[in-house]
Structure 1
Amino acid sequence: MTQHTAIPNPGLGTFRLEGDTLKRAVTTALELGYRHIDTAQMYGNEAEVGQAIAESRVPRDEIFLTTKVWHDRLTPDALKQSVDESLAKLGTDHVDLLLIHWPSPDDEVPMRDYLTALREVQKAGKTRHIGVSNFTRAQIDQAVDILGEGVLLTNQVEVHPFLQNRALVEHCKRHDITVTAFMPLAVGKVMEDETLKRIADHHDATPAQVTLAWLQALEIVTFPSSTKAEHLKSNLEALTITLSDDELYEIATLERGERIANPGFAPDWD
């Protein structure tokens, strides 16, 4: 199994989902055939995600479950405590992927400290894979220096047609690190783009489906968030669409450096 095939595609993102709405989304996604659920300590919904998985007819060992440690809990002891809390809320003894949600702002906690703790959590059997999120090219290099090649499964970053992050994507590939894309639909903006609409019409599809097919062509795993069964279904169907080289080129021209997730504690993007 290559690194790339280790993460089922697409997944279900759960950011901003909560309560019964979240549980219904997870239940429906699993029924439709999704096998990858993405959550985080910071989302405040791990307990509901865990309940939905427990109540589903899909065995836990068939589900690829991701959670993340927030940037205010990166000292080794706090990181390990965060993971134990997440596992308790999720009602499982391990996750499949554990991520550092954001690098430590201004390197307040040295990267070596928190990545070493992350690796120790993995060796303790609390996660099958480890990875990072929102790491720059320079930070990926630093992380690989600390942990060695082949240890980090993924770097989860913002990628959509208007922020294609090409240099970072290529950099991760060189290190055999899968890129997983959050906000793949640019919070709905892809639906209004004329180029994507035209390509979608040609395939009898939606701009959202074209965007997901484009990410798949780039070997980028993604997990759009949706609560509607028809959207969850169409996201799965998107992966049957094959875009032509010309269409991929047209989508490449949509890059405009439009970064949506850029909080004050974000790293210096390279």
Structure 2
Amino acid sequence: MTEVPSISLNNGVGIPQLGFGVFQIPPEDTRAAVLTALETGYRHIDTAQMYGNEREVGQAVRDSGLDRTEIFVTSKLDNDAHEPEAAQRAFRRTLETLDIGHVDAFLIHWPLPKIGDFVETWHAMEEMYRSGDVNVIGVSNFQPHHLRRLLDNSTIVPALNQIEIHPYLTQDELRAFDAEHEIATQAWSPIAQGAVLGDPVITSIAERLGKTPAQVTLRWHIDRGDIVFPKSVTPARVKENFDLFDFALSEDDIAQISALNRNERRGFDPDTFNPSS
């Protein structure tokens, strides 16, 4: 079976660089999709409270026959639970819903600066980490100025920052900030919801290498050092997205893809996103 590279986080915990995401996978389809991913070789599953499919992720992990220590499971705090006591309750619900013993990583899903003080939320996350029920704590969709506030007002540096990244939004400045502070960068929406797959630069490289545009794009993420987790409910696509380690991009290929940057988001802007508006 293909050996997926592992990245060592700032607390020494290892995380598989390629994972499987379950965003927008309906609960009724999640167990089968995750089982297919685990059978294919994925050992990193990314979910969230707001996805509504934690229970099915947990069922798949339990039903897979794999030892729990072989699978890295991430979930994220919902936007309505930022108050510290609410965050603690929400985390306990995730532990109960997944029912897999512990959570490998738990992240603040959005900073929500217009709603409340995410620093206080982070202090609750630090308590979760100290409890021993989660191995890694981190954030998602945090910009450099959000991270500076955390670093200036907390004792634990986030291990992960999960952000939108794809060839049309390369996030070089934010990735550099993460790297400077030993925060690993994870890429969500890695193929820009399919928008980059018809790009002539990517299709040309794919044709030359005998790979699909999706595989080339995901390999670009891997080569840049990002942790990436594509999602699909189609078994053939799940397997295709895993088949990234029998070819290599040249430095010129990587530079050409990176040059496609347009600072074009497919998701919300973390500085303005307000889920209640």
TM-score (norm 1): 0.93
Q: Which residue of 1 aligns with 2:148?
A: 141
Residue pairs, 1:218-229, within 5 angstroms: 218-229=224-235
Decide which moves more: 63-72 or 236-245. 236-245
Structure 1 residues 12-91: aligned runs within 5 Å: 12-91=20-99
Q: Aligned residue for 1:257?
A: 263
1:152-191 equivalence runs, <5 A? 152-191=158-197
Which of 212, 216, 226 does residue 222 from structure 2 map onto? 216
Equivalent AA in structure 1 for residue 24 of structure 2? R
**How many residues get paired?**
265
Deviations 1:92-137 (A, max 9, x none): 231000000001331x332331111001001111210000000001
| Separation (CA, whole Å) in 1 of partners of 2:14 and 2:239 | 22
User: Residues of 1 paired with 2:152 and 2:214: CA distance?
Assistant: 37
Matched, 1:267 2:271: yes
For residues 18-63 of structure 1, the C-alpha deviation after alignment (integer angstroms, 9 at most, x for no partner) is: 2342111100111111100000000011111111111111121211
TM-score (norm 2): 0.91
SS in 2 for 1:191: coil
Residue 239 of structure 1: CA displacement?
Answer: 3.3
Give, in whole Å, the separation in 1 of the partners of 2:86 and 2:147. Answer: 23
**Separation in structure 2 between the aligned mates of residue 227 and residue 54 of structure 1, nearest angstrom:** 19
Indicate whether 1:247 and 2:219 are aligned: no
Structure 1 stretches of 4+ with a deviation exceeding 2 A read: 146-149
Deviation at 1:183, TM superposition (A): 0.3
State the alpha-carbon separation in 2 of the partners of residues 112 and 58 from structure 1. Answer: 37
Shift in CA distance, 136/183, structure 1 to aligned 2, threshold 3 Å:
same
Separation (CA, whole Å) in 2 of partners of 1:94 and 1:240 = 33
Distance 1:75 1:27 in 2: 34
Deviation at 1:67, TM superposition (A): 0.3
Match of 1:196 in 2: 202
Tell me which amino acid in the other structure corresponds to 1:125: G
CA RMSD of the aligned region, Å?
A: 1.7
CA shift at 1:148, angstroms? 4.1
Unaligned runs of 5+ in 2: 1-6
Which aligned pairs between 1:93-104 and structure 2 lie closer than 5 A?
Answer: 93-104=101-112
Deviation string, structure 1 residues 221-253 (Cα, Å, up to 9, x no partner): 110111122212221212333111111111111
Does the Cα contact within 8 Å between 1:213 and 1:240 map onto a contact in 2?
Answer: no
Deviates more, 1:117-126 or 1:225-234: 225-234
Give yes or no for contact 2:62–2:100 (8 Å, CA) kept in 1. no
Q: Give the conservation status (yes or no) of the 8 Å contact 1:212–1:239.
A: no
Structure 1 residue ranges without an equivalent (≥5):
none
CA deviation after TM superposition for structure 1 residue 268, in Å: 5.2
Match of 1:119 in 2: 126
Contact 2:8 2:15 in 1 (8 A): no
- The 2-side partners of 1:3 and 1:18 are apart by 31
Code of the aligned partner of 2:122: L
Q: Distance in 1 between matches of 2:40 and 2:177?
A: 34
Q: Secondary structure at the match of 1:240?
A: coil
